[in-house]
Chains A and B, each alone.
Chain A
């Protein structure tokens, strides 16, 4: 059990660092979504399933979605309709 707890703890640390080290906002939204999922798993492993459910719904779905939509608006404002940056 301890091994699982340590693993998930390290995973959260790694995912959090990855969010900081990702510089492009578009990629960052996806990495942040993964971080939200890992954080939810940690809450679950530490026996807080109520909080884990909230964390997964908000951290892995709602937050990245808002970031993606805001990014889409910003790109539309710049008039940049490049090949790979739609949506």
Chain B
């Protein structure tokens, strides 16, 4: 395909896509107008029915809990895919991390980065736990809190070295956290079946809205997702770091 022809095909496609987009935009509801009944109904009933102060959490972990299970397993499958793709291939060897290699011109980590990074690890872990455990009360939840927890591992790497990261979070911890979290979500779902209701039915005591122990299964599911996401992201991080720092092809500059 010549460049001229390619440009013509692109122009036709761009004009058609633009027209379609404009046509769609004209059919949108007015700014700030919500047409559907679903959100209004949920705002009316969610707090009374599920005792979850955060209606968003009531939707994602209760009314549409099965969708969230699907999302959780998307991440699970993605992390497994990365782990498989980034393993040491045939002909590649694992070598000690090359951070101190003589021909590496990276500047040494400054004391400022080390001190600030290490000082932040504790507060970041605490904040991550807070976001995970308060998902049914305020914005946040297992996914957001899990990623925040994983950034603590990143801070350890930034302020220390690769070997420090491996010592703080060995691969088996990430593996265990990820799989326990994924299995835990399904386990809580089966709890509903065991209690004679449906899969993912909210069968635990609901408590009072606003209390830390309230909303039944929602905080438990948040814990499972938090564990899964934190483990998954730590695994992603260490797989990428391992590819960059440890795995070498024959003849490659280290």
Contacts and interface: CB of A to CB of B under 8 A. Distances in A.
Given A50-B140, A53-B144, A57-B151, A86 B106 contact: yes
Contacts of A77: 249, 252
Contact of B151 (A61, A76, A79): A61
Nearest to B139: A49
A58 B151 CA distance: 10
A50 B141 contact: yes
The interface residues of chain A, by DSSP majority, are classed as: helix
Contacts of B54: 50
Contact of B56 (A50, A58, A70, A79): A50
B35 interface: no
Contacts of A81: 103-105, 253
A72 interface: yes
B253 A54 contact: no
Interface in B189-211: none
A65 interface: yes
Interface string B72-108: 0000000000000000000000000000000111100
B67 to A, nearest CB: 14
The interface size bin for chain A is 20 to 34
24 contacts: A50-B54, A50-B56, A50-B141, A50-B144, A53-B131, A53-B139, A54-B143, A54-B147, A57-B147, A57-B148, A61-B147, A62-B150, A62-B233, A66-B236, A69-B243, A72-B244, A73-B240, A73-B243, A73-B244, A77-B252, A81-B103, A81-B105, A86-B106, A87-B106
